[in-house]
Amino acid sequence: MTQANPLPDAPVTVARLLAQLTLDEKISLLHGNWSVLEKLGEAGVIPGVPRLGIPPLRLSDGPSGVRVTARATALPAPVALASTFDPALAHAYGTVIGREGRALQQNVQLAPMVNLVRTPYGGRNFETFGEDPLLISDIAVAQIQGIQEQGMIATVKHLAANSQEHDRQTVDAIVDEQTLREMELPAFEAAVRAGVGSVMAAYNSVNGAFACESPELLDELLRQDWGFDGWVMTDWWAAHSTQASLTAGLDMEMPTGKYFGRALKEAVEAGEISETLVDRAVDRILTVMDRFGLLEASADAAPPRDPAFGAEIARQVAVAGAVLLRNEHATLPLTGAAARSIAVIGMTGSVPFVSGGGSSHVVPDHADSPLQALRARAGGAEVAFAAGVDWCGKDIPAEDLSPAVLLDVTGTQAIPPGRSWSYDGTLCADEDDEWTFVLHWSHHEEWTQEDDAVPIYNRPAIVFDGEELFPVQPGWEELFTGGLVGTSADGLALRSATRNVTKGTHTLSIRADADADGMSFRLRRETPATRAADLAEAVSAARSAETTVVFAWQDATEGKDLETLALPAAQDELISAVAAVTPRTVVVLNTATSVTMPWLPDTAAVLQMWYSGQQGAQAAAELLFGDENPSGRLPVSCPADEESHPMAGDPARYPGTDGRVTYSEGIHVGYRWYDAYDVEPLFPFGHGLSYTEFTYADLRTEAATETGVEVSFTLRNTGTRSGAEVVQIYLGPSPDLGLPQAVRKLAAYRRLTLAPGEEQRVRLMIGRRQLSSWSPSEHDWVLGTGERAIAVGASSRDLRLHGVIRLHA
Q: Is 110 in the site for ligand BGC (CB under 6 A)?
A: yes
Say whether 452 is catalytic. Answer: no
Which is nearer to ligand BGC, 210 or 236 (by Cβ)? 236
Shortest distance in whole angstroms from residue 236 CB to ligand BGC: 4
From the list 590, 511, 598, 513, the residue with the least C-alpha distance to 549 is 590
Binder among 132, 138, 184, 235 for ligand BGC (CB under 6 A): 235
Residues 6+ apart with CB under 8 A from 50: none
Binder among 26, 61, 288, 689 for ligand BGC (CB under 6 A): 61
Angstrom distance (rounded) from CA 534 to CA 538: 6
Angstrom distance (rounded) from CA 739 to CA 551: 45
Collapsed DSSP state (helix, strand, coil) of residue 528: helix
Shortest distance in whole angstroms from residue 82 CB to ligand BGC: 17
Shortest distance in whole angstroms from residue 67 CB to ligand BGC: 8
Which is nearer to ligand BGC, 104 or 110 (by Cβ)? 110
Angstrom distance (rounded) from CA 520 to CA 512: 9
3-class secondary structure per residue, 218-276: HHHHHHHHCCCCCEEEECCCCCCCCHHHHHHCCCEECCCCCCCCHHHHHHHHCCCCCHH
Which is nearer to ligand BGC, 43 or 187 (by Cβ)? 43
Number of residues near ligand BGC (by CB under 6 A) = 8
Cβ(81)–Cβ(67) below 8 Å: no
DSSP for 288-317 reads: HHHHTTTTSTTPPPPPPP-HHHHHHHHHHH
Residue 123: HSE in the Cβ half-sphere, 13 Å Cα cutoff: 22
Q: Is 359 in the site for ligand BGC (CB under 6 A)?
A: yes
Shortest distance in whole angstroms from residue 130 CB to ligand BGC: 17
Shortest distance in whole angstroms from residue 250 CB to ligand BGC: 15
Q: Is 253 in the site for ligand BGC (CB under 6 A)?
A: no
Cβ(630)–Cβ(623) below 8 Å: yes
Catalytic residue among 61, 86, 138, 235: 235
Binder among 4, 17, 21, 43 for ligand BGC (CB under 6 A): 43
Q: Is 441 in the site for ligand BGC (CB under 6 A)?
A: no
For residue 135, give the H/E element and its range.
Answer: helix 133-149
**What letter does residue 130 receive in the DSSP assignment?**
-
Shortest distance in whole angstroms from residue 238 CB to ligand BGC: 8
Residues 6+ apart with CB under 8 A from 97: 62, 65, 66, 75, 109, 111, 143, 146, 147, 150, 152
Collapsed DSSP state (helix, strand, coil) of residue 694: strand
Which is nearer to ligand BGC, 43 or 80 (by Cβ)? 43
Angstrom distance (rounded) from CA 733 to CA 705: 19
Which is nearer to ligand BGC, 316 or 359 (by Cβ)? 359
Q: Is 343 in the site for ligand BGC (CB under 6 A)?
A: no
Binding mask 577-596 for ligand BGC (x = CB under 6 A): --------------------
Shortest distance in whole angstroms from residue 558 CB to ligand BGC: 6
Binder among 210, 228, 231, 236 for ligand BGC (CB under 6 A): 236
Q: Which of residues 447-486 bind ligand BGC (CB under 6 A)?
A: none
Which is nearer to ligand BGC, 94 or 639 (by Cβ)? 94
Q: Is 213 in the site for ligand BGC (CB under 6 A)?
A: no
Binding mask 116-155 for ligand BGC (x = CB under 6 A): ----------------------------------------
From the list 456, 480, 455, the residue with the least C-alpha distance to 165 is 480
Q: Which residues are catalytic?
A: 235
Residues in contact with ligand BGC by CB under 6 A are 43, 61, 110, 157, 235-236, 359, 558
